Amino acid sequence: MTIKEFEELVLEKLKIVVDQIITENLELPISAKSRAGAEISDWLEEKFVEYTIDNDFFEGSEGAPKGSTKNPWDARTEFVLDGHKEEIWIDFKAFKITSADSNPDIGTPNKIIKLINEGNFYHAFIHVFYEATDNGLKFVKLNDSYSKLYFLKDISSTFRRNPKNQLQVNISAPSEYRTREEFIKLLMDKIKESHQRQIEISNKALKKQDEITEELLKANKKSEDDLTKKIQ
Amino acid sequence: MTIKEFEELVLEKLKIVVDQIITENLELPISAKSRAGAEISDWLEEKFVEYTIDNDFFEGSEGAPKGSTKNPWDARTEFVLDGHKEEIWIDFKAFKITSADSNPDIGTPNKIIKLINEGNFYHAFIHVFYEATDNGLKFVKLNDSYSKLYFLKDISSTFRRNPKNQLQVNISAPSEYRTREEFIKLLMDKIKESHQRQIEISNKALKKQDEITEELLKANKKSEDDLTKKIQ
Amino acid sequence: MTIKEFEELVLEKLKIVVDQIITENLELPISAKSRAGAEISDWLEEKFVEYTIDNDFFEGSEGAPKGSTKNPWDARTEFVLDGHKEEIWIDFKAFKITSADSNPDIGTPNKIIKLINEGNFYHAFIHVFYEATDNGLKFVKLNDSYSKLYFLKDISSTFRRNPKNQLQVNISAPSEYRTREEFIKLLMDKIKESHQRQIEISNKALKKQDEITEELLKANKKSEDDLTKKIQ
DNA sequence: GTACGGCCACATTTAAATGGGTTCGGA
DNA sequence: CTCCGAACCCATTTAAATGTGGCCGTA
Ligand SMILES: [Mg+2]
Ligand SMILES: [Mg+2]
Ligand SMILES: [Mg+2]
């Protein structure tokens, strides 16, 4: 089996689990007037462990510690094949499909660097889709499927690092196969480009400082005088 | 009345409204296994409008458009005194008090610059506190109060601009009175300092690039070879 | 040397560089889809820096930071003559010559105002032309040339500001010499005219509003009456 | 001659926690 | 004097949307 075939196999087996979880639990009592990503992830994490307890391909599944807000994975598991165990990290992404578009943060580059340096590589995104209902939310299909999965290594080359130190990509950007080495080089390029842009941005902001300060002081003088008179 | 007395009056009247809202609705059916800020804010926004319809001091209250994710205020209203109307922006902050600590983002500096340039100034933070319950969440007191309010202009001088282009401050940082002009200068200083730090950070990151790339390629060579052999 | 002769010299030297870049790289592995313009520009930016490293007339050439989508220039350089250095901004425009026509946005007027206020003036457009091929695209000649260059200051007076706050001109509009002062006046006129057109548009829309309201109320009166009767 | 539409890569903005590094005082 | 703990000052990280401006083309 080639590496590529191995990767496809992992995603195939993962998708089966996720689709089953969703199909058997189409509605959740989670209020979703705003974005419900964290609550949905919390629920999925628990279910993922439950649904892989007895799975031939996955071993040692764990959800992120309850209440943790900075864990590098939502769930982790080991894919078992011919006695080999390959560490898999999972990041759930829950999209409210009534929104116009979405470009979620997809994690800090730092954790990816650590993951690879520790001898691992596989970080899977699992997209799920929902709509608010009267008493919570329901999962819905997008493009005929309850879930969409790909590995970070095969992410669309339109991904970038943003100023929050998060990688980011559009919800619809199609994944594209590349080798692990190609991904490493691409990732490092993207990080470099982003830092270069940031230096530009900060330099520009610094140049504008004095002008903005003047303007604010002037606007305030006027409005504060006004208020002072009115409340005498 | 001095400006300072005016400001204290606004906050006093605001606090009465908020405390009443909470006291009359101590429990909410909003799941809060993770952080429920957005859902709580959504609910408070609606209640704030409802509870100020018949208030002598507040006029024209509005909640943020439903589902909006980038609105500069959670609610806005006008404080009316002797015929003068003063624009007030409200940003709710909902803290899960079982957490160890909190340093919330408190908004982009850009919107503050716009607010002041448009002749306004008053941007109030309203802290509320909650705990998860079996079927949702309940509001709780912190330091004997259901809410804590202060204006951005009087924020603790420990606030900063972070790389997400958000101002930020610790939940417990005590507010300190200053003049409007003093605030403008302080704000602009903080923005400057932050951009200077960012340039440093990005420069350092750029220097490390090549080293990290080498390291990653090396780690990958090892782990990829390993995997290739195992799955043959 | 007159200002006019100076300007002609700059463009002449620029054209030599660009034509050389293209002649030596007639085909590019860039697929000619909607983003082709941006990608061709990326490539040209890099080449421009490379091809002016050892040029007697250009110094300090830079491409826009990679991935930056809002940079005011695609490339910048300094034209050196008798020790004087003149800042030159470059905006590449890549046209697919199989298309019927093109009226590209040519930049926001805001950046031109800034450029001039900072003591500079020269903003060159460099038109290049391409066709799709099986494995990417190839540069082609239009009117016997691989490139067409002119300064914004000499742009056809058919240029305008469009409602997106971008200047715009037809691909084929011939440039016409004018003085820097004449350009400033013309630019400001164009901006004014554009805003006036927009006011017209809004005024018309507002007028229509009332008309539409009438119409709707009338239509509804009829259908509501109708329904009321039917369900009595 | 002008508006406008689609595309799309990026920053920005919104929700609030943890955690790292430095500094300072006390044992 | 030195280690340790607490405090403090920040970045970082997590949840996913919208908005801007440049890209050219068509109408
Ligand atoms: Mg996730
Ligand atoms: Mg808020
Ligand atoms: Mg261009």
Residue A94's pLDDT band, with cuts at 50, 70 and 90, is: very high
- pLDDT tens track for C140-153: 999 999 999 999 99
Judged by DSSP in three states, B167 sits in strand
**B191 and B173 co-located in one domain:** no
Q: Which residues of C161-187 are buried (b: 16+ CB within 10 A; e: fewer)?
A: beeeeebbbebeeebeeeeeeebbeeb
**Residue B27: closest CA among B181, B127, B137, B131:** B137
- Is the minimum CB–CB distance between A198 and chain B shorter than 8 Å? yes
pLDDT, residue A210, reads 96
CA B69 / C1′ D15 distance in Å:
9
The span from the CA of A51 to the CA of A70, in Å, is 24
What does the CA dihedral C107, C110, C116, C120 come to, rounded to 10 degrees?
-50
pLDDT, residue C232, reads 84
What single-letter DSSP state applies at residue B143? T
**Nucleotides of strand E under 7 angstroms from a protein beta carbon:** 8-27
Encode chain C in three state secondary structure.
CCHHHHHHHHHHHHHHHHHHHHHCCCEECCCCCCCHHHHHHHHHHHHHHHHCCCCCCEEEEEECCCCCCCCCCCEEEEEEECCEEEEEEEEEEEEECCCCCCCCECCCHHHHHHHHHCCCCEEEEEEEEEEEECCEEEECCECCECEEEEEHHHCCCCCEEECCCEEECCCCCCCCCCCHHHHHHHHHHHHHHHHHHHHHHHHHHHHHHHHHHHHHHHHHHHHHHHHHHHCC
- Kindly report which amino acid residue has its CA closest to the C1' atom of nucleotide E11: B162
- pLDDT tens track for A165-212: 999 999 999 999 999 999 999 999 999 999 999 999 999 999 999 999
B232 CA distance to ligand 2 middle (Å):
54
- pLDDT tens track for A118-165: 999 999 999 999 999 999 999 999 999 999 999 999 999 999 999 999
- pLDDT tens track for C195-231: 888 888 888 888 888 888 888 899 999 999 999 999 8
The span from the CA of C65 to the CA of C72, in Å, is 11
- Is the minimum CB–CB distance between C67 and chain A shorter than 8 Å? yes
**C83 and C38 co-located in one domain:** yes
B41 CA distance to ligand 2 middle (Å):
6
Number of domains making up chain A: 2
- pLDDT tens track for A20-45: 999 999 999 999 999 999 999 999 99
pLDDT, residue C47, reads 96
pLDDT, residue C210, reads 83
Task: Tell me if A213 and B188 make a contact (CB, 8 A cut-off).
Answer: yes
- Window 114-153 of C: residues touching A by CB (8 A cutoff) are none
pLDDT, residue A213, reads 97
Nucleotide nearest to B163 (CA to C1'): E11
Task: Tell the residue number behind the tokens 């649904």, with chain if given.
Answer: A51
**C89 and C159 co-located in one domain:** yes
pLDDT, residue B112, reads 97
**C202 and C148 co-located in one domain:** no
Residue A120, phi then psi, degrees to nearest 5: -110, 180
What single-letter DSSP state applies at residue B23? H
- pLDDT tens track for C67-104: 888 899 999 999 999 999 999 999 999 999 999 999 99
**B61 and B151 co-located in one domain:** yes
pLDDT, residue C204, reads 84
Distances (CA, A) of A139 to A46, C12, C83: 16, 62, 68
Residue type present at position A48: F
Backbone CA torsion sign across A150, A154, A160, A166: positive
**A168 and A184 co-located in one domain:** no
Residue A72's pLDDT band, with cuts at 50, 70 and 90, is: very high
Domain final position from A162, A178, A194: A178
CB C176 within 8 A of CB C154: yes
The span from the CA of B5 to the CA of B26, in Å, is 31
**B226 and B188 co-located in one domain:** yes
pLDDT, residue C213, reads 86
User: What are the pLDDT tens digits along chain B (232 aa)?
Assistant: 999 999 999 999 999 999 999 999 999 999 999 999 999 999 999 999 999 999 999 999 999 999 999 999 999 999 999 889 999 999 999 999 999 999 999 999 999 999 999 999 999 999 999 999 999 999 999 999 999 999 999 999 999 999 999 999 999 999 999 999 999 999 999 999 999 999 999 999 999 999 999 999 999 999 999 999 999 8
**A97 and A192 co-located in one domain:** no
State the number of CA atoms in the 13 A half-sphere of C73 facing the CB: 21
Helix (H) or strand (E) holding B14: helix B3-23
C81 CA distance to ligand 3 middle (Å):
26
Task: Tell me if B213 and A6 make a contact (CB, 8 A cut-off).
Answer: no
Average pLDDT, chain A: 97
The span from the CA of C227 to the CA of C213, in Å, is 21
- Which regions of chain B does DSSP assign to beta strands (E)? 27-28, 58-63, 75-81, 84-96, 122-133, 136-139, 147-151, 160-162, 166-168
**B90 and B190 co-located in one domain:** no
The span from the CA of C116 to the CA of A198, in Å, is 25
Residue type present at position C164: K
- Kindly report which amino acid residue has its CA closest to the C1' atom of nucleotide E19: B70
pLDDT, residue C33, reads 81
Backbone CA torsion sign across B194, B197, B201, B202: positive
Helices B180-230 & A180-230 angle (0-180, nearest 10): 170
**A165 and A205 co-located in one domain:** no
Task: Tell me if A220 and B181 make a contact (CB, 8 A cut-off).
Answer: yes
**Ligand that lies nearest to the alpha carbon of residue C43, given by its number in the listed order:** 3
CATH code for the domain of B75: 3.40.600
pLDDT, residue C135, reads 86
**C140 and C150 co-located in one domain:** yes
Backbone CA torsion sign across A173, A179, A184, A190: negative
pLDDT, residue C88, reads 96
Range of the domain at A226: 180-232
pLDDT, residue C34, reads 76
Q: Which residues pair with C69 in a beta bridge?
A: none
**B157 and B190 co-located in one domain:** no
B6 CA distance to ligand 2 middle (Å):
24
pLDDT, residue C205, reads 80
- pLDDT tens track for C17-66: 999 999 999 999 988 887 799 999 999 999 999 999 999 999 999 999 99
* Average of per-residue pLDDT across A63-75: 96
Residue A227's pLDDT band, with cuts at 50, 70 and 90, is: very high
Among A167, A189, A194, A197, the residue to mutate for chain C (most C Cβ within 10 A): A197
- Contact between the CB of C150 and strand E at under 7 Å: no
